[in-house]
């Protein structure tokens, strides 16, 4: 007969191997950009993002620039709830003037989902799969939002365990999608399209500032 200590050790070992379970609304990661960017990695080390007044912004020299973090316990149930405040540098209404958010999983070939929002237009404003089967059905729920250039706007992107995704802009439901099979995420990405007209070589004036990032476990159902 196994000793009590041996049985206890077996139980503890088994529990340690089980996936971590999280309750809905459990906070996994927050960032107020009041310090350095130790928790984040830029797309190009030679073009770092910088902190300005409690927000982070790209250099403007990389047309599709990204900043990512993996400093949170991976999500394994398909549900996430991400909020971030965003400010547009440019008021130009164009599909080229846009930011994006991504939730991805490096363990499954970087599959995941992306939310893209453009300034004042429905063009290039969408929820989509990354490296998936592109099975999402979606629709724009309201008129295109015109972002102010002097203030931040709260963005909330949420996905439930049933595969429903919703994107809120300034508290209003903006995009909604259904579908997709990717259910694990260990990477959060902030992205900006620093557009420059052809022939221009100066720093882009279409950058996007991000602040007050919070990632939580998403709901069972929306």
pLDDT at 62: 87
Termini Cα distance of the chain: 50
Domains and CATH numbers, the chain: 23-217 (2.60.120.200)
Full-prediction pTM beyond 0.85?
A: yes
Position 14 confidence tier, pLDDT thresholds 50, 70, 90:
very low
What's the per-residue H, E or C state across 136-171?
CEEEECCCCCCCCCCCCEEEEEEECCCCEEEEEECC
Coil, helix or strand for 91?
A: coil
pLDDT digit string, tens, across residues 158-194: 999 999 999 999 999 999 999 998 999 999 999 999 8
């Amino acid at each position: 007969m196994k000793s009590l200590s041996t049985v206890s050790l077996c139980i503890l070992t088994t529990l340690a191997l089980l996936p971590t379970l999280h309750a809905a609304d459990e906070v996994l990661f927050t960032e107020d950009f009041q310090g350095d960017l130790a928790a984040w990695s830029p797309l190009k080390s030679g073009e770092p993002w910088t902190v300005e007044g409690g927000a982070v912004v790209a250099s403007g020299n990389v047309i599709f620039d990204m900043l990512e973090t993996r400093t949170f316990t991976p999500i394994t149930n398909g549900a996430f709830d991400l909020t971030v405040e965003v400010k547009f540098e440019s008021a130009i209404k164009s599909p080229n003037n846009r930011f994006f958010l991504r939730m991805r999983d490096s363990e499954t070939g970087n599959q995941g989902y992306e939310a893209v929002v453009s300034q004042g237009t429905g063009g290039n404003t969408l929820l989509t799969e990354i490296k998936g089967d592109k099975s999402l059905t979606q629709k724009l729920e309201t008129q295109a939002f015109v972002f102010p250039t002097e203030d931040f706007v709260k963005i909330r992107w949420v996905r439930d365990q049933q595969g429903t995704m919703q994107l809120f802009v300034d508290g209003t439901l903006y995009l909604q999608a259904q579908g997709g099979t990717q259910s694990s995420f260990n990477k959060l990405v902030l992205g900006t399209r620093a557009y420059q007209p052809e022939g221009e070589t100066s720093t882009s004036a279409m950058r996007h500032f991000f602040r007050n990032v919070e990632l939580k476990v998403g709901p069972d159902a929306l």
